[in-house]
Amino acid sequence: MELVIRGGTLVTMNAEREVLAADVLVRDGRISLIGPELDETTSIGDREIVDASGMLILPGLVQAHVHLCQTLLRGRADDLPLLGWLKTRVWPYEAALDEAAMRASASVACLELLRGGTTAILDMGSVRHTDVIFEVARTAGIRATIGKAHMDAGDDLPAGLREKTEASLAEGEALCERWHGSEGGRLRYAFAPRFALSCSEGLLREVGQLARRMKARLHSHASENRDECAVVKATRGQDNIVYFDGLGLLGRDVALAHCVWLSAEERALLARTGTHVVHCPSSNLKLGSGVCDVVSLLEAGVNVAVGADGAPCNDSLDAFLETRLAALLQRPGHGSSAMPARRALELATLGGAKALGLEKEIGSIEAGKRADLVIVDPGRAHAAPVDDPYAAVVFALNRSDVRDVFVDGRQVVRNGIVTTLDEAAVVADARSQIHRLDVH
């Protein structure tokens, strides 16, 4: 099956950052050719033509830190700081999740993500029901790297989330064996110790070794909030990133969400080890955590991606919004030219691809890469009359301007409608499941 997307303007994000008026030929899920009038060339099989005249075509947006399991708690955990938010709202909710509720939560999240142009995610699952998250991602057609959250230590953990160390690691290993590389590589596993305070030192040490043995990513939260950092320092005797370094939890295969509160030494450690940082601006603002100094991280040589985090700390899972905020938030500290629109879009495409270890597969529109593509309509009043495509995407357009979305060349959004999930049914199920769970 071939697909030609014709007549659009490609914001390629290739090495030259070319913006091209060109067609895209997709063959077997990959971008096969980019050039003029490809629909005139000889077909080798069934060919579908998608007319993108007047449209912008972006690489699929990447969110390298989300929690599909938390979506049902949207709007039910407001106005709290991180540790109180976790202990009084998020953890009791996650402990109450059963398979049906998890399925509802992940489904509504995947629908929102795909509809908004996010084609790839790195998901920190909950302690239990990770298989259900994978099943939903498989059906939805999103590119997903998913990890079960490890939690074998810490205060105020509900019984439903507290794990025994060995069982936690064994479950992670089994999930990795079951899912890593499935669906032609679209689904992958990541080992996800939740954060320093929810994990024993033994678990942290072993999970790093296990991930390397299984050739899977590592994903965690770090240095999000000042109180969290103070507790890590008081109980572990070191700053969070230094502590992780000593446990073998930094490296090119590691993506850490937040990293808001870092010492200069920690920033240098992240750079030296090639550890990726996932900037979650809405979440950091809503929980009052602070503002990640992305410019200093980039200047130090750290790769930075963006992510919406979970619905109860955002409440949108919107890559356009996070990219816009990433561009704006650096300006009060570093000046108005600190994060131009193009740089911000790099975080949401190339930066995300690197954080997932998929920079050879996604993140730009180039021949040979996977056909993860987003067609955006720049023609409505709120984006008129912008010419610069980066300025349009980052500052003027929003997710409701997404028209079509493709993952591995498969169309998962057509004219604003997700093709793989039934929105009305998914939303109704989300509503009924959160009422059934009866968590407040």
Dist CA 300 CA 322 (whole Å):
22
- If one asks whether residue 315 binds Zn ion (CB under 5 A), the answer comes out as no
Minimum CB distance to Zn ion smaller for 317 or for 397:
317
* Contact region with Zn ion (CB under 5 A), list: 14-22, 174-182, 188-196, 303-311: 303-311
Q: How far is the CB of 146 from Zn ion (least distance, A)?
A: 13
Minimum CB distance to Zn ion smaller for 31 or for 144:
144
* Contact region with Zn ion (CB under 5 A), list: 266-274, 306-314, 396-404, 407-415: 306-314
- If one asks whether residue 372 binds Zn ion (CB under 5 A), the answer comes out as no
Minimum CB distance to Zn ion smaller for 245 or for 309:
309
Site for Zn ion in 135-194 (CB under 5 A): none
Q: How far is the CB of 70 from Zn ion (least distance, A)?
A: 8
CB atoms within 10 A of CB 83: 17
**Structure tokens belonging to residue 250:** 């930094």
Using CB atoms within 10 Å of the CB of residue 419, give its burial: 0 to 12 exposed, 13 to 18 middle, 19+ buried. Answer: middle
Minimum CB distance to Zn ion smaller for 57 or for 197:
197
- If one asks whether residue 123 binds Zn ion (CB under 5 A), the answer comes out as no
- If one asks whether residue 309 binds Zn ion (CB under 5 A), the answer comes out as yes
**Structure tokens belonging to residue 7:** 């007549």
Minimum CB distance to Zn ion smaller for 58 or for 232:
232
Alpha helices by DSSP H, listed for 215-305, are 226-236, 240-246, 264-273, 281-286, 294-300
Q: How far is the CB of 86 from Zn ion (least distance, A)?
A: 10
Q: How far is the CB of 120 from Zn ion (least distance, A)?
A: 17
**Structure tokens belonging to residue 43:** 């077909």
Count how many Cα atoms sit within 13 Å of the Cα of residue 430 in the half-sphere of its side chain.
23
Q: How far is the CB of 195 from Zn ion (least distance, A)?
A: 9
- If one asks whether residue 224 binds Zn ion (CB under 5 A), the answer comes out as no
Edge-first strand listing for the sheet containing 402-407: 19-21, 9-11, 56-59, 373-376, 402-407, 410-414, 417-418
Q: Which residues contact 225 (CB under 8 A, 6 or more apart)?
A: 81, 82, 83, 260, 261, 287, 289, 290
Q: How far is the CB of 118 from Zn ion (least distance, A)?
A: 16
Report how many residues bind Zn ion under the rule CB under 5 A: 1
**Structure tokens belonging to residue 109:** 């999240």
* Contact region with Zn ion (CB under 5 A), list: 130-138, 230-238, 307-315, 347-355: 307-315
What are the two backbone dihedrals, phi and then psi, of residue 241, each rounded to the nearest 5 degrees? -70, -35
Minimum CB distance to Zn ion smaller for 12 or for 225:
225
Q: How many residues does the chain have?
A: 440
Q: How far is the CB of 306 from Zn ion (least distance, A)?
A: 13
Give contact residues for Zn ion (rule: CB under 5 A).
309
